[in-house]
């Protein structure tokens, strides 16, 4: 039996399996053959007959389609529910493209006043008539004139007549003064003569009285003659005593009369000088080198006293006149620095005068150029002036806009994702470009800075794309 097995050859097939399990069966099969002592050199495996087959893709079945559709539907419904919940808790919906959003930043804030104004000449005097009369112009509007040049003349017969009469009165007083001086000299001379004559008469009376006295004592002269000589002596003594006083009195009287006449002449001279000034003022001359601005009346027109006749413009120096709101006026002081913007250029300036009155809620402020004055300036040329009041450093700020008027400046819409919630806020200093935030917001908070007047009644907004 064993020999038959040794001489016969037969084939034993192994289990065909392409998996790892087939490989294990092959190993077990070979082990079994060896244990039986059967020679297996003639048996061949099926490894060469195996063919590698790729894994089939996921099969799309109706059930798979239904499951996927159900999952997608649930996801869509959940997203729509979430969106609905988001919008349900807001008062209004608004598109993001319609809004302008800005962040709270930290930096320096310039507190300034911006005002518009115009160029004005620093000196533009208007000349007036000094009397009623007829005006005759020697220049035209726009003419350049030199200082002292004759601009116009006014013919005033009434003023000329008054001036002539005043001159006549002055001449009469001067003549009267000269007569009084001559009369005073005459009276003083007569008084001196009377004094000298009284002294001479007194000496004669004294000699006669001495002679009559001796004769009366010796019996040659009667008592009646002696008493007459004595009376003559008393009269001469009295005249001699009063003559110096009379001279002093005459001197004082004539001096007073001369002084009164001199005062009258001085008063009349003042009247003449004033009338002369008025007459000279009828010849109107330019007070400065300037340009003729405008003629107030027509040529050869009748004008009244103190009526405007002509305006001249001093082109050598210009100033700026602006108007600022009256609530800023208490903070302005002369000498405060100003930036003057003209033709896209900035010039330095300063405040030189502040009007003491308020007109329509505005206060007029006069400025001057402190640096180089612009060239080719024109009267009434428009300018913009910026007055720097103060600089605040390192403050929270937002760009200035209409949003700041929401609830009279007490709230803003703070953006958080797709929502904007009305948030109380407190502002500090208002600048031209920025507003200081003192309470209610923090750094980098996003705020709607466009006009929010349409959302005044809303407390929250939903921002959609």
302 burial type by CB count under 10 A (0-12 exposed, 13-18 middle, 19+ buried) = exposed
Lowest mean pLDDT among 7-16, 22-31, 343-352: 7-16
pLDDT in tens, 288-321: 888 898 899 999 999 998 899 999 888 778 899 9
Asked if pLDDT for residue 177 goes beyond 90, the answer is no
Tell me what pLDDT residue 60 has: 58
Domain residue ranges in the chain:
1-75, 92-110+393-464, 115-121+314-390, 126-150+285-312, 157-281
Asked if pLDDT for residue 353 goes beyond 60, the answer is yes
| 3-state secondary structure (DSSP) of residue 100 | coil
**Domain 92-110+393-464: CATH architecture, name and number where available:** Beta Barrel (2.40)
| 3-state secondary structure (DSSP) of residue 230 | helix
**Domain 157-281: CATH architecture, name and number where available:** Up-down Bundle (1.20)
Tell me what pLDDT residue 103 has: 92
Asked if the 115-121+314-390 domain carries CATH number 2.40.30.170, the reply is: yes
What pTM value is reported for the model?
0.46
Among residues 162, 70, 119, the alpha carbon closest in space to that of 317 is found at 119
What is the pLDDT averaged over residues 326-350?
89
Contact 393, 433 (CB under 8 A): no
CA atoms within 13 A on the CB side of 214: 5
Tell me what pLDDT residue 89 has: 60
| 3-state secondary structure (DSSP) of residue 376 | coil
DSSP 8-state class, residue 359: B
Q: For 355-381, list the strands marked E by DSSP.
A: 362-369
Rounded Cα distance between 143 and 125, Å, is 15
Asked if pLDDT for residue 365 goes beyond 90, the answer is yes
Residue 160 Cα distances to 261, 276, 279, 385, 461, angstroms = 25, 9, 7, 52, 86
Do the two domains 92-110+393-464 and 115-121+314-390 of this chain adopt the same fold?
A: no
Contact 95, 464 (CB under 8 A): yes
What is the pLDDT averaged over residues 335-362?
90
pLDDT in tens, 31-60: 444 444 444 444 555 555 555 545 445 555
Q: Are strands 460-464 and 92-95 parallel, antiparallel or unpaired?
A: parallel
Contact 326, 363 (CB under 8 A): yes
Nearest-5° Cα angle at 133, 131 to 136: 115
Confidence of residue 83 (pLDDT cuts 50, 70, 90): low
pLDDT in tens, 87-139: 556 678 888 888 899 999 999 988 888 899 999 888 888 898 888 899 999 99
Rounded Cα distance between 102 and 464, Å, is 17
Look at the block and give the residue holding tokens 């007055």: 387
Query: Which residues lie across from 283 on neighbouring strands?
Result: 153
Contact 125, 311 (CB under 8 A): yes
| 3-state secondary structure (DSSP) of residue 89 | coil
């Amino acid at each position: 039996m064993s020999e038959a097995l040794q001489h016969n050859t037969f084939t034993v097939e192994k289990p065909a399996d392409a998996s790892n399990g087939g490989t294990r069966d092959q190993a077990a099969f070979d082990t079994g053959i060896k244990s039986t002592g059967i020679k297996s050199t003639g048996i061949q495996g099926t490894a060469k007959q195996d063919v590698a087959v790729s894994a089939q893709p996921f099969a799309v079945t109706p059930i798979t389609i239904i499951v996927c559709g159900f999952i997608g539907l649930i996801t869509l419904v959940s997203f729509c529910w979430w969106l609905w919940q988001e919008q349900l808790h807001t008062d209004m919906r608004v598109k993001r493209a319609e809004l302008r959003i800005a962040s709270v930043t930290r930096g320096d804030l310039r507190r300034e006043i911006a005002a518009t104004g115009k160029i004005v000449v620093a000196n533009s005097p208007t000349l007036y008539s000094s009397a009623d009369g007829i005006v005759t112009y020697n220049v035209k509007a726009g003419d350049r004139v030199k200082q002292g040049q004759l601009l116009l003349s006014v013919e005033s017969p009434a003023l000329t007549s008054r001036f002539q009469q005043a001159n006549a009165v002055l001449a009469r007083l001067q003549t009267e003064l000269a007569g009084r001086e001559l009369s005073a000299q005459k009276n003083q001379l007569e008084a001196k003569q009377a004094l000298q004559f009284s002294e001479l008469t007194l000496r004669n009376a004294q000699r006669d009285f001495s002679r009559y006295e001796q004769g009366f004592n010796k019996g040659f002269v009667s008592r009646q003659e002696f008493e007459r000589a004595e009376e003559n002596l008393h009269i001469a003594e009295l005249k001699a005593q009063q003559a110096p006083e009379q001279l002093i009195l005459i001197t004082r009287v004539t001096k007073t009369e001369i002084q009164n006449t001199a005062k009258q002449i001085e008063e009349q001279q003042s009247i003449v000088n004033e009338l002369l000034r008025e007459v000279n003022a009828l010849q109107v001359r330019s007070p400065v080198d300037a340009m003729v601005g405008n003629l107030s009346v027509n040529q050869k027109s009748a004008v009244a006293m103190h009526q405007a006749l002509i305006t001249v413009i001093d082109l050598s120096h210009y100033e700026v006149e602006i108007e600022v709101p009256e609530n800023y006026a208490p903070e302005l002081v002369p000498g405060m620095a100003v930036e003057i913007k003209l033709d896209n250029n900035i010039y330095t300036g300063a405040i030189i005068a502040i009007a003491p009155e308020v007109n329509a809620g505005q206060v007029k402020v006069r400025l001057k150029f402190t640096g180089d004055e612009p060239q080719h300036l024109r009267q009434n040329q428009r300018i913009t002036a910026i007055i720097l009041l103060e600089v605040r450093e390192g403050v929270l700020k937002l760009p200035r806009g209409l949003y700041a008027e929401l609830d009279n400046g007490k709230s803003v819409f703070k953006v958080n994702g797709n929502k904007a919630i009305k948030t109380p806020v407190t502002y500090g200093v208002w600048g031209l470009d920025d507003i200081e935030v003192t309470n209610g917001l923090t750094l980098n908070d996003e705020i709607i800075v466009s006009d929010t007047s349409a959302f005044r009644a809303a407390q929250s907004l939903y921002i959609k794309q």
